[in-house]
Chains A and B, each alone.
Chain A
Amino acid sequence: MRYDVIIVGGGVVGCALARELSRYQLRLALLEKEVEVGFGTSKTNSGIIHSGHHAPADTLKGQLEWAGNQRWDDLARELKFGFSRIGELMLAQQSADLAYLLKLKAQGEEKGVTGLELWSPKKIQKEEPNLSHNILQALHAPTAAVVNPYEACFGFIACAQQNGVELFCGAPVLEISQAGESFSIQTPQHKFHCRIIINAAGIYADRIAALIGAADFTIHPRKGEEYLLDRRLQGIVTRLIFPVPSATSKGVLIIPTVDGPIMVGPTAEDVADREDLTTSFSGADKVFATVRQYCPAISERDTITEFAGLRAVAESNDFIISPSPVKGFFNVAGIQSPGLTAAPAIATYVTEMLRCEGLALSEKTAWKAEIDGPSRFARMSVAERKAAIRSDPAFGRIICRCESVTEAEVRYAICHGARTLDGVKFRVRAGMGRCQGGFCTTRIMDLLSQTAGTPLTEISKRGRGSEICYPRQDSLTAGEEG
């Protein structure tokens, strides 16, 4: 299989880049090792579109942060994912923090970030009455937003696919070789050929680069644990709440997620194992002890679920987006925070880099920016609900009661790429509410089985090895005999 460009890695960066490059007359493929896109670091991201002032203007991430921030309103509309510009407050809890807020405000204004404003304790109490009374001052940044990062991945890739990008999931890259101007990529199922490789392999980017001798960097995984809280606490803060950051992280945040529930986290812990997605007693203690300092109403007992993700940190502590020593092989690596925010700008930046490196880019005439798909039943008005049910009675069948997700939405997700329970869950929220799938799991398994033609016993949480259930012993024997 022959392509002009192959992107390795289907996280938010790879998916955004696939969509961006799909504007041009190129043969494109994206290879993802997991069973679906966004199942690595992106799935466990905090879902924050940073306001634009966090990273210094003289860093690459600083430049791409603000450029990326401004792109999300259009993207959310075109790619139909939830998005809300709720703004952020960074809190000064001690006098030493005050200087940092001033520095950050100046840094943001230098970059052109709009609306930055210092708030007095009185104003903070008026706007966010559930925050601690001991806050000295806060920096308000209205440009910050929240988004579901996995929804963004699915939106980017759906748009890329409709514009001709070929997606291969469950396709880990095993070998890369170069002959003349052409690369060969070996995955367990296929051999791919291409002129250009973009390495967007996240936590494994250094390993991928090493396959072709282009690894002049190392990725260090930094783990973050997040805790999602019950709807009881929904609305206790209306903006993203940040402490003043440390050297290694932005600190433990209070995140009013785009769907409403409050999430707290992440921790920041350097780990050796690139598969270490474990949560811990110490992580929970740290998260709750920290956030309770600035929002005492938050309680650990409201946790409905917790998870951990790994940030891909490079030694330089900045994004690595550059041609590698191997001609035609480009690294897009070390994309830690604000990577999600910057992703649309990274995609444009990489495209320009390819143009500079001599890739001919001529625009397609029939490129389509928007994707189709049903709106969320949960977000429809009564009139819209009636119309939706008239057009498809499956909208009248609620599958996930906690999040009001209908059979029509689940079926659509399955017809458009969802292969696993997590794939359905992260596309349409079925199983994401309070009962955590207690009621809807078997119904979603049935729909996956019927729509995708998979036996129930092969349906998995997130790919092979994570099957949900086993066949009965007697039916196993009966099956073998028959």
Chain B
Amino acid sequence: MKSPLRKKYDVVIVGGGPAGLAAALGARQAGAERILVVDREIEAGGILNQCIHSGFGLHYFKEELTGPEYAERFVRSALADSIEIITDSYVLDISTDLQLEVVSGRYGYLQFKARAVVLAMGCRERTRGAIRTPGFRPAGVMTAGLAQKMVNMKGLLPGRRVAILGSGDIGLIMARRLVLEGCEVVGVYELQPYSNGLTRNLVQCLDDFDIPLHLSTTVAFIHGRDRVERLTLAPVDMKCNPDLSRTRDVACDTLLLSIGLIPENELSTRLRLRMDPATGGPQVASNLETSLPGVFACGNVLHVHDLVDFVSEESLRAGRFAAEVARGLRRPGDNISLQAGENIASCVPQSLSPDREQVVYLRVKRPLKNCLLTIGDRYEKSFRVMIPSEMIRLTLAPEVLDRYFGDNLRIDIWPQERV
């Protein structure tokens, strides 16, 4: 089929999930004319399409939506804004002068030149290989997200008697989904001494259905040559090492893994972007531009979020900044290096400029109660509780930043009490 597409775009966005769609809208708001979103699935919306539960949009739309509803609002806005979206299409490569090599089921081999590119490829799930799980390699071990796609999109069940390793929100939500679909969920097992899911999900997905949550527990052996038959579970010590003298077995035919997400950074790596080992995504300046001029990143490819609302907000900004670059406008370069200090696992962006209000996202390393967050010596905020699974969002006024011109600015969190 002959391509109706152009050869040159102001902004090309890689990925048509919540991040990519919001970036496209942001680019339009900031005056970019020719905007293209390339998505690899058969429809835009990304992983939201399989997240049929509600709980999305409370910050962004001030109402509670399901994943497909949230996605639909963005798709509709994008189409209303005359943003071109091609689906079933995959970006193979991007050159440093922003030429994109794309293959498409419908249009064949495509090449585009962009003035700015926004990376919005999202993230993927950690798999069995990422943790030590000895035993056989039978069918019936899969990630919670894959199970979610099977159940919610394809109408297939991953098993009948299911165990879930990891208490992240996807795992908790799948526990409830599977019970509603007539499966038995024998338990959720979490390596850490605390859950990684929202309390709301612990109550409404596990407690409501009498599904037990076992903390400080891991799977020490998977039994069953062809199909999972049984798991050996072991308690773990403070360093998360299993105590193999105190194991017990549980019979099940399926093990779902909900053990974390990692940014999907194949393209970023090919582009040789400077990466942040703490987030797994590229390093970005305060305008969300990566180390390669003209290439921006937002959403889960930048750092894994827990709220899609923050993804949308961040991506709108990335799209706006990308449009500015495409139009030849420049912001002042950053001159403050932002550093993750005491108790902080990661922070984004990695540098700031004092010319405007800045948004900073960060995560703590471990659960903390009654603590004081300090940024340099001009900003303090107290928190009653901070947990690793909940990203913190801060806005910093130019006055806080100004005296760090040309310097390092450290964020620290000082607990008043240990959990």
> For window 82-115 of chain A, which residues contact chain B by CB distance below 8 Å?
none
**Given contact pairs A386-B109, A461-B139, A435 touches B125 in the complex (Cβ within 8 A):** yes
Most buried by A among B128, B139, B225: B139
Question: In the complex, are the beta carbons of B127 and A436 less than 8 A apart?
Answer: yes
Does B181 count as interface, using CB distance less than 8 angstroms? Answer: yes
Expressed in whole angstroms, the Cα–Cα distance for A415 and B220 within the complex equals: 39
**Given contact pairs A306-B129, A473-B181, A461 touches B138 in the complex (Cβ within 8 A):** yes
Can you sample 17 A-B contacts with CB below 8 Å?
Answer: A281-B132, A281-B220, A300-B132, A385-B103, A389-B108, A394-B105, A395-B103, A396-B103, A407-B105, A436-B128, A437-B146, A438-B124, A442-B149, A442-B150, A462-B226, A466-B226, A469-B150
Expressed in whole angstroms, the Cα–Cα distance for A368 and B178 within the complex equals: 53
**Cross-chain contact of A401 among B90, B142, B146 (Cβ < 8 A):** B90
A385 neighbours in B (Cβ, 8 Å): 103, 109
- New contact pairs (11) apart from A465-B226, A471-B156, CB-CB < 8 Å: A382-B109, A401-B266, A404-B92, A434-B127, A438-B125, A456-B154, A465-B227, A466-B138, A467-B139, A470-B156, A470-B158
Give 5 closest A-B pairs by Cβ, nearest first.
A465-B226, A397-B105, A466-B139, A461-B139, A305-B129
**Cross-chain contact of B146 among A278, A442, A463 (Cβ < 8 A):** A442
Does A362 count as interface, using CB distance less than 8 angstroms? Answer: no
Expressed in whole angstroms, the Cα–Cα distance for A393 and B107 within the complex equals: 8
Q: Shortest beta-carbon distance, A307 to chain B, in Å? A: 6
Expressed in whole angstroms, the Cα–Cα distance for A105 and B125 within the complex equals: 47
B124 neighbours in A (Cβ, 8 Å): 434-435, 438-439
B396 neighbours in A (Cβ, 8 Å): none
> For window 365-383 of chain B, which residues contact chain A by CB distance below 8 Å?
none
Does B282 count as interface, using CB distance less than 8 angstroms? Answer: no
Question: In the complex, are the beta carbons of B181 and A280 less than 8 A apart?
Answer: no
B156 neighbours in A (Cβ, 8 Å): 456-457, 469-472
Q: Shortest beta-carbon distance, B331 to chain A, in Å? A: 33
Expressed in whole angstroms, the Cα–Cα distance for A278 and B287 within the complex equals: 49
Q: Shortest beta-carbon distance, A225 to chain B, in Å? A: 9
The residue on B at minimum CB distance from A421 is B139
> For window 264-320 of chain A, which residues contact chain B by CB distance below 8 Å?
275, 277-281, 283-284, 300, 303-307
Does B40 count as interface, using CB distance less than 8 angstroms? Answer: yes
Q: Shortest beta-carbon distance, A147 to chain B, in Å? A: 22
> For window 168-207 of chain B, which residues contact chain A by CB distance below 8 Å?
181-182
Question: In the complex, are the beta carbons of A382 and B181 less than 8 A apart?
Answer: no
Question: In the complex, are the beta carbons of B103 and A389 less than 8 A apart?
Answer: yes
**Given contact pairs A277-B136, A401-B90, A475 touches B155 in the complex (Cβ within 8 A):** yes
B139 neighbours in A (Cβ, 8 Å): 460-462, 466-468
A398 neighbours in B (Cβ, 8 Å): 40, 90, 92, 103
B266 neighbours in A (Cβ, 8 Å): 401-402
Residue numbers of B with Cβ under 8 A of A are: 40, 88, 90, 92, 101, 103-109, 124-125, 127-130, 132, 134-139, 142-143, 145-146, 149-150, 153-160, 181-182, 220-221, 225-227, 242, 244, 266
Question: In the complex, are the beta carbons of B146 and A397 less than 8 A apart?
Answer: no
Expressed in whole angstroms, the Cα–Cα distance for A280 and B130 within the complex equals: 15
Question: In the complex, are the beta carbons of B134 and A279 less than 8 A apart?
Answer: yes
Does A228 count as interface, using CB distance less than 8 angstroms? Answer: yes
Question: In the complex, are the beta carbons of A401 and B132 less than 8 A apart?
Answer: no
B149 neighbours in A (Cβ, 8 Å): 442
Count contacts between A and B, CB distance < 8 Å. Answer: 136
**Given contact pairs A401-B90, A456-B156, A473-B182, A438 touches B146 in the complex (Cβ within 8 A):** yes
Expressed in whole angstroms, the Cα–Cα distance for A74 and B227 within the complex equals: 39
Does A355 count as interface, using CB distance less than 8 angstroms? Answer: no
Q: Shortest beta-carbon distance, B271 to chain A, in Å? A: 15
Expressed in whole angstroms, the Cα–Cα distance for A469 and B142 within the complex equals: 11
Question: In the complex, are the beta carbons of A304 and B145 less than 8 A apart?
Answer: no
Most buried by B among A228, A275, A397, A407: A397
**Cross-chain contact of A396 among B108, B127, B146, B225 (Cβ < 8 A):** B108
Q: Shortest beta-carbon distance, B68 to chain A, in Å? A: 17
Does A390 count as interface, using CB distance less than 8 angstroms? Answer: yes
A304 neighbours in B (Cβ, 8 Å): 127, 129-130
Does A441 count as interface, using CB distance less than 8 angstroms? Answer: yes
**Given contact pairs A401-B40, A441-B146, A278 touches B135 in the complex (Cβ within 8 A):** yes
Question: In the complex, are the beta carbons of B225 and A275 less than 8 A apart?
Answer: yes
Q: Shortest beta-carbon distance, B183 to chain A, in Å? A: 9
Most buried by A among B101, B143, B156, B220: B156
A437 neighbours in B (Cβ, 8 Å): 146
Question: In the complex, are the beta carbons of A441 and B103 less than 8 A apart?
Answer: no
The residue on B at minimum CB distance from A279 is B134
The residue on B at minimum CB distance from A475 is B155
Question: In the complex, are the beta carbons of A442 and B154 less than 8 A apart?
Answer: yes
Expressed in whole angstroms, the Cα–Cα distance for A393 and B108 within the complex equals: 6
Expressed in whole angstroms, the Cα–Cα distance for A277 and B90 within the complex equals: 37
B127 neighbours in A (Cβ, 8 Å): 304-305, 434-436, 438
Question: In the complex, are the beta carbons of A470 and B134 less than 8 A apart?
Answer: no
A463 neighbours in B (Cβ, 8 Å): 226
Expressed in whole angstroms, the Cα–Cα distance for A441 and B160 within the complex equals: 19
**Cross-chain contact of B129 among A303, A469, A474 (Cβ < 8 A):** A303
Expressed in whole angstroms, the Cα–Cα distance for A402 and B269 within the complex equals: 13
Expressed in whole angstroms, the Cα–Cα distance for A469 and B148 within the complex equals: 12
B104 neighbours in A (Cβ, 8 Å): 396
Expressed in whole angstroms, the Cα–Cα distance for A306 and B225 within the complex equals: 15
B160 neighbours in A (Cβ, 8 Å): 470
Question: In the complex, are the beta carbons of B128 and A305 less than 8 A apart?
Answer: yes
Q: Shortest beta-carbon distance, A40 to chain B, in Å? A: 13
Question: In the complex, are the beta carbons of B103 and A469 less than 8 A apart?
Answer: no
Q: Shortest beta-carbon distance, A459 to chain B, in Å? A: 10
Q: Shortest beta-carbon distance, B231 to chain A, in Å? A: 13
**Cross-chain contact of A472 among B103, B105, B107, B157 (Cβ < 8 A):** B157
